[in-house]
């Protein structure tokens, strides 16, 4: 582990924070998670991310970086080359494809997850359908990007894997609570296989909370 005085302001269950934790873990960077209480944000958080006042914030060398995907790119660039682990691929076109799908996920899928968690119960069935539809293009993306390998990043997890994979727990909790399969073998066989492989990687497994943690959290949010 590289020792570097790296801190992450966040919560253990936030998928956005887990993008950062998985990326640091992948790069073998030692870090301290400073747990935030989002109901009573710390002065450190308000000072570190005055614009959005949100987690995650990465604090490194006295500098603060916000926005999960911006942080992931920073980590990839700052700790590059030491042991050959790259988060983004090296080819500019492949990099663009990875960024495209991460942006797609944040624009089209994440807002549905939020509505499912905080919105009215009456809309949930329609939203789950919308969620499942939003994941379909990612099945095609997986088939194209993985080129027959295990991950979007090929043989190893990369940018798209991290961007999407951090949200698996949340999606599984929605499936569990609604009794409706969002990722089903029939429609998205590639993604179903990818989920299991992603969750078993060293980088991800310690940072994706147990399903029951998300179910409890979701119950609270929906209440």
- Residue ranges that bind a second copy, judged by CB under 8 A: 51-52, 61, 63, 65-67, 70-71, 73-74, 77-78, 92-93, 95-97, 99-100, 103-104, 137
Contact 112, 134 (CB under 8 A): yes
Name the residue nearer to a second copy (CB basis): 45 or 218: 45
Q: Which residue has the tokens 């209440």?
A: 223
Structure tokens at 107: 């624009």
Shortest distance in whole angstroms from residue 197 CB to a second copy: 24
Contact 160, 166 (CB under 8 A): no
Name the residue nearer to a second copy (CB basis): 41 or 95: 95
Shortest distance in whole angstroms from residue 208 CB to a second copy: 25
Shortest distance in whole angstroms from residue 189 CB to a second copy: 20
Name the residue nearer to a second copy (CB basis): 97 or 164: 97
User: What is the distance between the alpha carbons of residues 55 and 38, in angstroms, rounded to a whole number?
Assistant: 9
User: What is the distance between the alpha carbons of residues 141 and 100, in angstroms, rounded to a whole number?
Assistant: 10
Shortest distance in whole angstroms from residue 51 CB to a second copy: 5
Name the residue nearer to a second copy (CB basis): 13 or 104: 104
96-to-87, 102, 145 alpha-carbon distances in Å: 13, 10, 11
Q: What are phi and psi of 43, to 5 degrees?
A: -60, -35
Shortest distance in whole angstroms from residue 99 CB to a second copy: 5
**107-133 as b/e, with b when 16 or more CB fall inside 10 Å?**
ebbbebbebbbeeeeeebeebbebbbe
Name the residue nearer to a second copy (CB basis): 102 or 171: 102
């Amino acid at each position: 582990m590289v020792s570097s005085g790296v801190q992450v302001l966040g919560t253990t269950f936030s998928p956005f924070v887990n993008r950062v934790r998985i990326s640091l873990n992948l790069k073998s960077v030692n870090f301290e998670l400073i747990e935030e209480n989002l109901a009573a944000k710390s002065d450190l958080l308000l000072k570190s991310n005055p614009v959005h006042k949100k987690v995650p914030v990465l604090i490194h060398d006295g500098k603060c970086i916000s926005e999960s995907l911006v942080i992931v790119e920073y980590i990839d660039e700052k700790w590059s080359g030491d042991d050959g682990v790259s988060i983004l691929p090296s080819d500019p076109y492949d990099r663009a494809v990875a960024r495209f799908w991460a942006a797609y996920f944040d624009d089209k899928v994440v807002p549905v997850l939020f509505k499912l968690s905080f919105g009215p119960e009456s809309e949930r069935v329609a939203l789950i359908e919308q969620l499942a539809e939003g994941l379909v293009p990612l099945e095609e993306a997986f088939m194209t990007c993985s080129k027959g390998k295990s991950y979007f990043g090929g043989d190893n997890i990369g940018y798209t894997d991290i961007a999407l994979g951090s949200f698996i727990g949340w999606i599984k909790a929605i499936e569990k609570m609604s009794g409706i399969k969002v990722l089903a073998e029939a429609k998205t066989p590639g993604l179903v296989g990818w989920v299991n492989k992603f969750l078993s990687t060293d980088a991800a497994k310690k940072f994706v909370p147990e399903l029951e943690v998300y179910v409890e959290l979701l119950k609270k949010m929906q209440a």
